Amino acid sequence: MLIVMSPEASADQIDAVCRRVRELGFTPNKIPGAGRTAIGITGNPGPVPPELFAHLPGVSECVRVTKPYKLVSRETKKEPTIIDIRNEKIGDGSLQIVAGPCSVESRDQIMKCAEVVQQSGAKFLRGGAFKPRTSPYLFQGLKDEGLKLLDEVKRNFDLRIVTEALNTETLDAVAQVADVIQIGARNMQNFTLLQAAGATKKAIVLKRGMSATLQELFLAGEYVLAQGNYNLILCERGIRTFETMTRNTFDLSAVVMMKHHTHLPVAADPSHGVGIDWAVPALAKASVMAGADVIMMEMHPDPARAMSDGQQSLDFPAYLKLAKELAELQKWKAGN
């Protein structure tokens, strides 16, 4: 932390800031400048909130020097985190595909999807039983019935289940079925849910909030790791910007930043990122090259009749073609 004093700050004001720093148990370091003085803080074990000083008389600005996150940081843990989910590894340099419908809609629909996902060679099926919907008038998922169907998939296919926990009330039921609990973008800063999900010790995929900075995503991850649960996957799924031609703005730089600054595996979700089915294949391949460990995709036996996200869901032939291409691209990448 660097406290920058205003040009008019008096010697007394500067001393008062230094005293406050000492009161808090840290060490102030005065740095006299041409026009103004700055005070560096050292001796702090972790990050110091700027708000402790920003308001003291004569203070112009507080500048963070150390990063505010710690457990997720690659500075703290250098080796990459590898998560083992029933003998499938995430984060070890391989590429995992997570595919399935937005919502579980019926037994027939989810079994058809499971067959095609298994046929494609992917090891993970996604599907929502509880759906967060912007409007109360839209389909909210099959709920417990949906979980039962996912459990049936789990018992009958070599597929691991990724499904969303919407709230603490239904977390336990979700955790019974899910191999990976999804925390959705709208819940990225639902700290109660993050802690409860972390405490299950299940693997978690945490989607970046629609307008969350990467630093906020890392801090949200910190809530999970602070529960002693390191089985966390960070997921880029598009952010909100001024552009309206795509559903969101898919931020592939975020994948590169997550891999660089944290030790956690990273997922990319081009289906939500762009929101248009025909644009998914190009962006899925781009995600692989950007360094994603996991590609999450929506597919559906009949996208035109999907109860949610039909416009961004691949039909089966398109999905199978893409899964094959991704496997080939990954093979090429591993060999180069």
The interface with its own copies within residues 13-32 (CB under 8 A) comprises 29, 31-32
Q: Strands 88-90, 96-100: parallel, antiparallel or unpaired by DSSP?
A: unpaired
Angle CA 325–328–329, to nearest 5: 85
Rounded to 10 deg, the angle between the 280-290 and 252-261 helix axes is 20
Closest CB to its own copies among residues 96, 330: 330
Distance CA 88, CA 292 (A): 16
The interface with its own copies within residues 294-323 (CB under 8 A) comprises 303-304, 306-311, 313
Q: Which of 188, 264, 262, 198 is closest to 227 using CA atoms?
A: 198
Mark the segment that binds its own copies (CB under 8 A) among 33-41, 110-118, 146-154, 199-207: 33-41
State the amino acid at position 39 in one-letter form: I
Q: Which of 100, 156, 154 is closest to 128 using CA atoms?
A: 100
Tell which one of 18, 52, 82, 173 touches its own copies (CB under 8 A). 52
- For 118, other C-beta atoms within 10 Å of its C-beta total 16
The interface with its own copies within residues 157-216 (CB under 8 A) comprises 166-169, 186-187, 189-193, 210-211, 213-216
Tell which one of 11, 135, 155, 317 touches its own copies (CB under 8 A). 135
Number of residues that bind its own copies (CB under 8 A): 109
Closest CB to its own copies among residues 40, 157: 40
Mark the segment that binds its own copies (CB under 8 A) among 79-87, 103-111, 199-207, 218-226: 218-226
Using H for helix, E for strand and C for coil, what is the string for 72-126?
CECCCCCCCCCEEECCEEECCCCCEEEEECCECCCHHHHHHHHHHHHHHCCCEEE
Closest CB to its own copies among residues 10, 42: 42
The interface with its own copies within residues 92-121 (CB under 8 A) comprises none
Q: Smallest distance, Å, CB 155 to its own copies?
A: 29
Tell which one of 286, 318, 320, 327 touches its own copies (CB under 8 A). 286
Mark the segment that binds its own copies (CB under 8 A) among 36-44, 86-94, 117-125, 155-163: 36-44
